[in-house]
Structure 1
Amino acid sequence: MATNSLEICTLRPFRISDADDFLIYAGDEKVTRFSRLKTLTSKEEAISQIQNVFIPHPYFRSICINDRSIGYVFFKPMSGDDKRRAEVGYVLAKEYWGQGIVTRVTKMAICDGFKEFPDVVRMQAHVEVDNKASQRVLEKIGFQREAILRKYTYNKGEIKDLVMYGLLSTDPML
């Protein structure tokens, strides 16, 4: 691992050839614990996820160091009457936690999102109450903690409370 991983980190669309790298972190239960992503167990599952979900998605980017996938960041613009907002999310390989990578690439993705989707005026994220690290990431970027959504989602066999975060296109990013 490079000591300057933050500086050499890039975002790019996923490729099928990312399957082996993706499986490394998507197969780690510590990484997928707070994610809606199912913990993967095979290369075939990794290929299917990349091919059927990531590649067709309008903004699903692989976080890369030396062109190797170490995670992903996405934003999902809503449709219809809700097209003015988008969901933001991310996953990062455990060995890269605590280095500021997710904060940096999420800022990049949000800037891209507001440019590529000019109708979007609000980015939002839902974070499990126990996921303090992800809450810190969003707060460092400038997201506002807006609400606790009690018993809001079902994930990994449990009903979970979520924290709702929001960032407006007019808000300053930190």
Structure 2
Amino acid sequence: MAGEEGTGELSISFRPLEVEDADDVMAWKGDPRVAQFCRWDTYTCRDEAVAFIQNFAVHHEWCRAICVAGRPVGCISVTIGKDEARCRGLLKYELAHRCWGKGVATSAVRLAVPAVFREFLRLERIEAMVIPENKGSMRVLEKCGFLREVILRKYEVGEGRLWDVALFRYSF
């Protein structure tokens, strides 16, 4: 476990995702409110959650379930850059709608960032990319000490439209 932090009455922890968590994963990946600012389509069946766990989460260099009371309510990952990008990691997180506005995402990011820097000593910065309309996620990053560097215009395509993306960074 990477750590645990209190969020008022809630206490969060990290652990690896397991296939047995597929129903919990569906609770957020099957919710269009969660998917609206993510780069994946809303999941429509449990098999998609199982595939995510087996093909992404289990093999990813740093992917953890965000747990409240021992149950996954989201996940957080940092993808470490390769070659000339090896000095940076890309942070991504997603959280069940029922946990929004309760400090869970903020606590998860606050726990993840130092854990990743301890585990990957060559990192100089961790970046996060957020659709500017996702005000909640931008506030989470700012509360955790991330600095907004730039808005990348027409940077990604998703859900049939071209997205601008805000680039945030955390570094020591």
Q: Considering the TM-score relative to the shorter chain, is it more than 0.5?
A: yes
User: Is the counterpart of residue 4 in structure 1 residue 9 in structure 2?
Assistant: yes
**1:164 corresponds to:** 167
User: Is the counterpart of residue 54 in structure 1 residue 72 in structure 2?
Assistant: no
Instruction: Return the letter of the residue paired with 1:86.
Output: G
Deviations along 1:37-56, whole A, 9 cap, x unmatched?
22101111110111001110
Deviations along 1:117-139, whole A, 9 cap, x unmatched?
00001000110011111110010
**1:104 corresponds to:** 107
Q: For 1:140, which of 126, 143, 148 is the aligned residue?
A: 143
- Tell me the matched-pair count: 166
SS of equivalent to 1:14? coil
Q: For 1:93, which of 71, 90, 96 is the aligned residue?
A: 96
User: Is the counterpart of residue 128 in structure 1 residue 141 in structure 2?
Assistant: no
Deviations along 1:47-82, whole A, 9 cap, x unmatched?
011100111001111011222110011111101111
Q: For 2:26, which of 20, 23, 41 is the aligned residue?
A: 23
How far is 1:157 from its partner? 1.5
Percent identity of paired positions between Structure 1 and Structure 2: 35
TM superposition score normalised by structure 2: 0.93
TM superposition score normalised by structure 1: 0.92
How far is 1:112 from its partner? 0.8
Instruction: Return the letter of the residue paired with 2:153.
Output: R
**1:38 corresponds to:** 41
Q: For 1:150, which of 150, 153, 156 is the aligned residue?
A: 153
